[in-house]
């Protein structure tokens, strides 16, 4: 009878509307039926990204689209700027180096965000692309993408934003801000299982794609662009996931993108207030609305905390990664979530701290969260 | 009330056991629960591939693992041999050229298979790898992989086999024959939706991986090997598909790999006999048991035939690709299929030919097929 609650920063809870279609019989993808489905999904994604640019969809997890955003844009030895303020910013640097690029990596203290002036200072005619995160999932830090876009937009460099965990939680106005490539994954705000990745690609970026000589095949943007123009894919698409995505995009449309963003902001604020009411310290200096990272109290182990939550309470949070292992825990507020789910997450923290013998004022977190949720 | 029947050479029918778990609630992958699931899946795949080698699993369709089998094995300018006897053999050449390799492409008349002596003749010290298909899906041609492995095994080159459509239909003894990399996709004999790709990698291949300098990241074999040793993945896995795969691998185990292969042989023979009883010509000179390609009768269009089957009868076959468009149709006999499904496919051909005004002896195909199926 133990119920399960999923607050990991991907995969997130999949709504029953999407789960049920994944159990429907399989069908062939080289058909009008698939093209009609895929066309709807592409339209829905354009709205989510707030873009009129081409949106490409890959059968892959988000990292695949990140790699594609390097291999399709750059040539060997090209200079790129990346921001390493966590595990996913670090990944941009790793991909760049794997492809033989000249990576100018801005090293940040994890938990802090990049100052757009730091990027501005390093921009010059040699820089081909700037790679950042909308939300750095490992630390819960949001980037001021609009401000970064303003400095990059003055140059010939393209701005590539990993919006995998931030999308539909932190604002992302791809076209208005001038983001050249925005990358998403399916298992976060898009609310379906992992296995699809997307990239919205601007005309400025297509200009670079034409000249880029790094090798690519499965993630070849030009091949995907040509296919998507006919609501098709160059290689076999993830049919069951595309079908599920149509359902969750319909939910996004019904709820409204703006409402989802406003809710995510409220939920994240309530979680933060709850944690602070327990005397816990927030890890992020620029908190994202997608995921909240919280420092473990002195002497308590974050991995044990996460395990206690999962095994005793059926509640899945994420722990810290790499240097943050055992030091923080992370609560996602992405996707299929309402005010009661948020209250449950906050309440679960109190239960688990109690189980670990940490002293606090019981009810303080839920009261603080509820004050904001009731508004 | 129209029932749907899927005989496309991928995706294939997904058994209800696998469909139902895809509709189960999502869970986090960085957990003992996932590792236990993934470990079971890897064991099942090793049995399917008949290998003790590492089996890597990617969230991607089969082409992703094909690309990985090039990027992880070769360095720029390396010479490789590919066999182009159809769309998927052509793909090996395209990937090789995309990565700047020196591709020695054996051009075959589509519908014919490669003579191992042709490969033997071209092998020399410069050749790094040989890329072939177990079943060339576009033509229904099976390769004598064992014989090719014998000639390649005498050299330092590795043999890479795209077993995407052939696996569990045409025999594939990875270790016994000495296949260095065998690639599979999830939506064929493995009977789940598209979105997972696998590669079984030999020690000889790992030796090349250590030295290969082509760039790769998402499909980095070494990273995947390190993770799979802990029943984990370097990037977010396709959780719902992995879960479904455990179910179909359990079905394979219960049925028995040998029984599945024997059945596939019988089913393909029955389909061939049925088509020949109608006076239709088989396209493949070396027919695979995974998919049967049949020439359209003179004056009848294959695309119209496929459309008639789908729209009027709810039966999905595949048409011809590229130069074969409109000229052939293809009936898959992969995966979740029994003798009645085979009879239905054969019967559907009679119905569709009749609808198109082609003359034949009604019942001839089902009689010929049934004679073999009853045995």
Q: How far from chain centre, in Å, is Cα B126?
A: 29
Q: Tell me how far CA of residue A148 lies from CA of A133, B150, B187, in angstroms.
A: 11, 58, 42
| Token pair for B103 | 């591709």
| Token pair for B248 | 């179909």
pLDDT per position as a tens digit, B241-284: 999 999 999 999 999 999 999 999 999 999 999 999 999 999 99
State how far the Cα of B42 lies from the Cα of B52, in Å rounded to an integer: 11
Q: Does B100 touch chain A (CB under 8 A)?
A: yes
| Token pair for B161 | 């086999």
Q: Does B218 touch chain A (CB under 8 A)?
A: yes
Q: Does A23 touch chain B (CB under 8 A)?
A: yes
Which residue in chain A is spatially nearest to B240 when comparing CA positions? A193
In a 3-state reduction of DSSP, which class is residue B104?
A: strand
Q: Does B195 touch chain A (CB under 8 A)?
A: yes
pLDDT at B347: 98
DSSP tag of B23: T
Distance from the Cα of B60 to chain A's closest Cα (Å) equals 5
DSSP tag of B215: -
Q: Is it the case that residue B214 has pLDDT exceeding 90?
A: yes
Q: Does A30 touch chain B (CB under 8 A)?
A: yes
Q: In whole angstroms, how large is the CA radius of gyration of chain B?
A: 21
B316 contact partners, CB below 8 Å, separation of at least 6: A27, A28, A31, B4, B5, B6, B7, B8, B309, B310
| Token pair for B79 | 């010479």
Q: Does A341 touch chain B (CB under 8 A)?
A: no
Q: In the structure, what pLDDT confidence band is assigned to residue B1 with cuts at 50, 70 and 90?
A: confident
Residues of A in contact with B26 (CB under 8 A): 6, 11-14, 187, 193
Residues of A in contact with B28 (CB under 8 A): 6, 8, 11, 316, 318
Task: Assess contact for B51 and B174: CB atoms under 8 A.
Answer: yes
Distance from the Cα of B110 to chain A's closest Cα (Å) equals 21
Of A27, A238, A302, which to mutate for an interface test with B (greatest number of B Cβ within 10 Å)?
A238
- Cβ-defined contact of A14 to B6 (cutoff 8 Å): no
Taking chain A (375 residues) in consecutive chunks of 10 residues, what is each chunk's mean pLDDT? 93 97 96 97 98 98 98 98 98 98 98 98 98 98 98 98 98 98 98 98 98 98 98 98 98 97 98 98 98 95 96 97 95 97 98 95 98 95
Q: Does A25 touch chain B (CB under 8 A)?
A: yes
Q: Is it the case that residue B30 has pLDDT exceeding 90?
A: yes
| Token pair for B32 | 């003992």
Residues of B in contact with A27 (CB under 8 A): 4, 6, 11, 316
Which residue in chain B is spatially nearest to A219 when comparing CA positions? B64
Burial of B366 (0-12, 13-18, 19+ CB in 10 A): buried
Counting residues of chain B whose pLDDT is more than 70, the rounded percentage is 100
Distance from the Cα of A279 to chain B's closest Cα (Å) equals 28
- What dihedral angle (degrees, nearest 10) is formed by the CA atoms of A31, A33, A37, A42? 40
- Cβ-defined contact of B27 to A12 (cutoff 8 Å): no
Q: In whole angstroms, how large is the CA radius of gyration of chain A?
A: 21
Task: Report the candidate in B9, B8, B274, B302 with the shortest Cα–Cα distance to residue B133.
Answer: B9
What are the structural domains of chain B?
Answer: 5-10+256-374 (3.90.1150.10), 16-254 (3.40.640.10)
pLDDT at A2: 86
Q: CB under 8 Å, gap of 24 or more: what pairs does A44-48 form?
A: A44/A245, A44/A246, A44/A249, A44/A250, A44/A252, A44/A253, A45/A184, A45/A198, A45/A200, A45/A249, A46/A200, A47/A249, A47/A252, A47/A253, A47/A257, A48/A167, A48/A168, A48/A184, A48/A189, A48/A190, A48/A249, A48/A252, A48/A257
Burial of A359 (0-12, 13-18, 19+ CB in 10 A): exposed
**What value of ipTM does the predicted structure carry?**
0.96
pLDDT per position as a tens digit, B57-81: 999 999 999 999 999 999 999 999 9
Task: Report the candidate in A182, A112, A187, A183 with the shortest Cα–Cα distance to residue A142.
Answer: A112
Segment holding A66, helix H or strand E: helix A62-71
Q: Is it the case that residue B375 has pLDDT exceeding 90?
A: no
Strand partners, B56: B199
In a 3-state reduction of DSSP, which class is residue B43?
A: helix
Q: Tell me how far CA of residue B117 lies from CA of B114, B144, B149, in angstroms.
A: 8, 11, 11
State how far the Cα of B325 lies from the Cα of B361, in Å rounded to an integer: 26
State how far the Cα of A226 lies from the Cα of B198, in Å rounded to an integer: 27
Task: Assess contact for B179 and B132: CB atoms under 8 A.
Answer: no
- Cβ-defined contact of B4 to A11 (cutoff 8 Å): no
State how far the Cα of B365 lies from the Cα of B173, in Å rounded to an integer: 33
């Amino acid at each position: 009878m133990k119920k399960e609650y999923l607050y990991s920063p991907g995969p997130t809870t999949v709504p029953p509307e999407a789960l049920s279609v994944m159990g429907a019989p399989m069908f062939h993808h080289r058909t009008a039926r698939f093209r009609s489905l895929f066309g709807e999904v592409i339209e829905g994604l354009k709205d989510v990204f707030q873009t009129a640019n081409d949106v490409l969809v890959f059968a892959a997890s988000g990292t695949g689209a990140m790699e594609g955003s390097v291999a399709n844009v750059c040539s060997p030895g090209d200079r790129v700027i990346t921001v390493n303020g966590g595990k996913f910013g670090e990944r941009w640097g790793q991909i760049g180096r794997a492809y033989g690029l000249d990576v100018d990596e801005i090293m940040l203290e994890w938990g802090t965000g990049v100052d757009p002036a730091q990027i501005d200072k390093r921009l010059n005619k040699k820089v081909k692309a700037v790679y950042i995160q909308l939300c750095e999932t490992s630390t819960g830090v949001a980037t001021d993408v609009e401000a970064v876009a303003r400095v990059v937009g003055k140059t010939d460099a393209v701005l590539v934003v990993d919006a995998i965990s931030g999308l539909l939680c932190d604002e992302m106005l791809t076209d208005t801000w001038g983001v050249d490539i925005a990358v998403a994954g399916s298992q976060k705000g898009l609310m379906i299982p992992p296995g699809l990745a997307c990239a919205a690609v601007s005309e400025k970026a297509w200009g670079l794609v034409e000249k880029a000589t790094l090798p690519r095949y499965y993630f070849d943007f030009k091949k995907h662009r040509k296919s998507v123009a006919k609501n098709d894919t160059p290689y076999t698409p993830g049919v069951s996931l595309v079908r599920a995505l149509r359902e969750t995009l319909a939910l996004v449309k019904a709820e409204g993108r703006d409402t989802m963003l406003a809710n995510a902001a409220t939920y994240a604020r309530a979680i933060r207030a709850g944690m602070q009411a327990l005397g816990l310290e927030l890890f992020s200096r620029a908190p994202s609305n997608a995921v909240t990272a919280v420092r473990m109290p002195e002497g308590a182990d974050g991995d044990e905390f996460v395990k206690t939550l999962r095994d005793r309470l059926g509640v899945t949070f994420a722990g810290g990664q790499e240097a943050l292992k055992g030091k923080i825990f992370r609560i996602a507020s992405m996707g299929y979530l309402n005010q009661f789910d948020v209250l449950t997450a906050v309440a679960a923290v109190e239960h688990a701290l109690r189980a670990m013998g940490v002293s606090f004022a019981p009810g303080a977190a839920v009261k603080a969260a509820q004050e904001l949720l009731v508004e």
